[in-house]
């Protein structure tokens, strides 16, 4: 089956991450949030659409793009402080993030796919906030990780 993608940024990367948009707007504000772990997003072939997965991807991307590798530094990042407050306000409960066990406690987004949220981050501050919250809370958004080593 041939798949044509128009207006999509292409890279010569082995990993390919993309944001997917399916269906209509449907905002979900969970009343229970488990501790969110940083993730490891590389070459795996996965589709993610759950609130917790999208939140994990965003916090992992923030740590990756800001070059932060210690939880204490991450918790003080301006973008994370805002995100934590916004999620807690929308869900009515505290947000806890947990580092991973292993070589990279704040996870990683493959270096050749870590530009997926650049559009969000290159926006002005208000637009960034709107886009990130819509991505996390709107069920129509998801993301996919894949690779081109076939």
Provide the 10 A C-beta neighbour count for residue 35.
10
Residues 33-67 have pLDDT tens digits of 999 999 998 888 899 999 999 999 999 999 988 89
28 falls within a domain: no
Residue in 51, 66, 70 with CA at minimum distance from that of residue 121: 66
pTM, to two decimals: 0.83
In a domain, 99, yes or no: yes
In angstroms, the CA 142 to CA 49 distance is 4
Q: Estimate the crossing angle of helix 125-137 against helix 51-65, to 10 degrees.
A: 140
Q: Is residue 127 part of a domain?
A: yes
Answer whether residue 129 is part of any domain: yes
Residue 8 lies in a domain: no
Residue 144 domain-assigned (yes or no)? no
Residue 29 lies in a domain: no
Q: Which domain range does residue 117 map to?
A: 49-139
What pLDDT, in 10s, does the model give residues 90-125?
Answer: 999 999 999 998 788 999 888 766 666 666 666 678
Confidence of residue 3 (pLDDT cuts 50, 70, 90): very low
Total structural domains in the chain? 1
């Amino acid at each position: 089956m041939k798949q044509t993608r128009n207006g999509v940024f292409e890279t010569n990367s082995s990993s390919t991450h993309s944001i997917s948009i399916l269906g209509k707007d449907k905002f979900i504000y969970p009343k229970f949030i488990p501790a969110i772990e940083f993730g490891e997003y590389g070459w795996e072939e996965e589709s993610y659409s759950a609130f917790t997965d999208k939140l994990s991807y965003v916090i992992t991307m923030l740590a990756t793009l800001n070059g932060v590798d210690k939880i204490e530094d991450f918790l003080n990042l301006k973008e994370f402080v805002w995100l934590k407050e916004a999620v807690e306000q929308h869900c009515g409960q505290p947000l806890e993030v947990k580092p991973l066990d292993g070589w990279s406690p704040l996870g990683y987004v493959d270096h050749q796919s870590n530009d997926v949220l650049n559009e969000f981050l290159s926006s002005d501050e208000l637009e960034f906030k709107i886009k990130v919250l819509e991505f996390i809370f709107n069920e129509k958004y998801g993301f996919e990780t894949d690779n081109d080593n076939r």
